[in-house]
Chains A and B, each alone.
Chain A
Amino acid sequence: MYILIVGAGKVGWNLARELIDKGNEVTVVENSSRRYQVVEEELEHRIQSGDGSELWVLERAGIERADLVIAVTGDDEDNILISQVAKEKYGVERTVARCNNPRNLEHFELLGVKPAVSATDLILRLIEHEVPEYGLVHLLDLPTERLEIIELEVGTASPAVGKRVMDLGLPDGSLVISILRDGGGFVPAGDSVVEAGDEVLLVLDTGLEADVTGRFAPQTEAA
């Protein structure tokens, strides 16, 4: 596979190494001449110097025959434009863009640049997984299909304890798909009773998470 990487920062350089090791043909484009010199000592002819948002630089790097373009500069605008041009002007099949500021993710989406990878977001996900709020874990997100699968831990103080699945009051667009208990799991029926210590897997439409979580989270006494 021919892969073009724009940006030879820590991410770009390490990606290049890994992808070359896996037997791919890789070209890296770097704008800063100092950085270029450092990385060139290792990558040699596989790095080119230039502003990767300029069309002639991309063309010189062979964007027309690239199977994959990875835009990992430190500038979100640059990453957006590079991916957009790669896809729409040069017909590159696959692009991956780095989103430095998670607040810019909506711009990536709006301009059709996907997937956009945000390190901050990934780390947040990991934190969520390690330190789950109300024991909530995202198992799978399907943004295009607008579905997600989550896992909830049922604490002893959860209002769901002792209730039948049909009585949980879950909103339309959400469904309990299995209950994990005592090292095993089963697909519940409407009259299965939720117990403390259960892990409940649900599939739901995007946006219902807060509503669903509320059915399992202990109510605050303050009210």
Chain B
Amino acid sequence: MFVLIVGCGRVGSAVAKAMLAQGHTVSVLDEDPEAIAQLNKGQAESWEDLGGQFTEGTALEIDALLQAGIERADAFVASTDGDNTNLVIAQIARRRFEVERVVVRVLDPARAKWYSDQGLQTVCPTQIAIELLEQAVSGQAPFEGVTG
């Protein structure tokens, strides 16, 4: 599977590494050329030596998306630090490039909910934190030491 990940922060880079380790073809797009450092961190070889692709460019620029290989993408992850950017590029990936699986990170639970009702697969870290905290506070999630 060809996976295109836009936004190479903590989340995007971790997902990219995991997908590459699983044997997928992975391409990452970020506007910051230094972001590739996140992909090299903690790896025995550099991201590109491991077979990963990295493109510097702005998510809304069609040329950058094309260069990063969106036309070949089977899966698309929008994980920049902007909810609105993520929601716009995810819709571009789906409607214009007809990428089969599109996943969007949205921090705002209200927008995540509404867009998921519209058929966009959203992942809302805030909502997940709320649920985990709720469980922990009410004693449903026993503390088993620090993980991760």
Contacts and interface: CB of A to CB of B under 8 A. Distances in A.
Given A53-B84, A80-B88, A110 B96 contact: yes
B147 to A, nearest CB: 32
Given A54-B108, A55-B114, A106-B62, A75 B96 contact: no
B60 A104 contact: yes
Contact of A88 (B62, B85, B87, B118): B118
B53 to A, nearest CB: 24
A86 B19 CA distance: 36
Contact of A81 (B62, B84, B110): B84
A125 interface: no
Interface in A63-93: 75-78, 80-81, 85, 88-89
Contacts of B114: 55, 85, 89
Nearest to A78: B84
Interface string B92-124: 100110000000000010110010001000000
A124 interface: no
Interface residues of B, number: 18
Contacts of B84: 53, 75, 77-78, 80-81
A78 B88 CA distance: 9
B111 A107 contact: no
Contacts of A56: 110
A110 B110 contact: no
B88 A111 contact: yes
A103 interface: yes
User: Main secondary structure on chain A at its contact with chain B?
Assistant: helix
Nearest to B82: A77
Interface in B37-96: 60-62, 82-85, 87-88, 91-92, 95-96
A88 B111 CA distance: 13
Contacts of A106: 62
Contacts of A55: 108, 110-111, 114
Contact of A110 (B83, B95, B108): B95
B87 A107 contact: no
B88 A54 contact: no
B88 A103 contact: no
A54 B96 CA distance: 26
Nearest to B63: A103
Contacts of B88: 77, 80-81, 107, 111
Given A55-B114, A89-B114, A103 B85 contact: no
B91 A77 contact: no
A101 B62 CA distance: 13
Nearest to B118: A88
Nearest to A54: B108
B60 A76 contact: yes
B127 to A, nearest CB: 14
Interface of A: 53-56, 75-78, 80-81, 85, 88-89, 101, 103-104, 106-107, 110-111
- What are the 9 tightest A-B residue pairs by CB atom distance, in nearest-first order? A77-B84, A55-B110, A77-B88, A81-B84, A77-B85, A78-B84, A80-B88, A53-B84, A111-B91
24 contacts: A53-B83, A53-B84, A53-B111, A54-B108, A54-B111, A55-B108, A55-B110, A55-B114, A56-B110, A77-B60, A77-B84, A77-B87, A77-B88, A81-B87, A81-B111, A103-B61, A104-B60, A106-B62, A107-B88, A110-B92, A110-B95, A111-B88, A111-B91, A111-B95
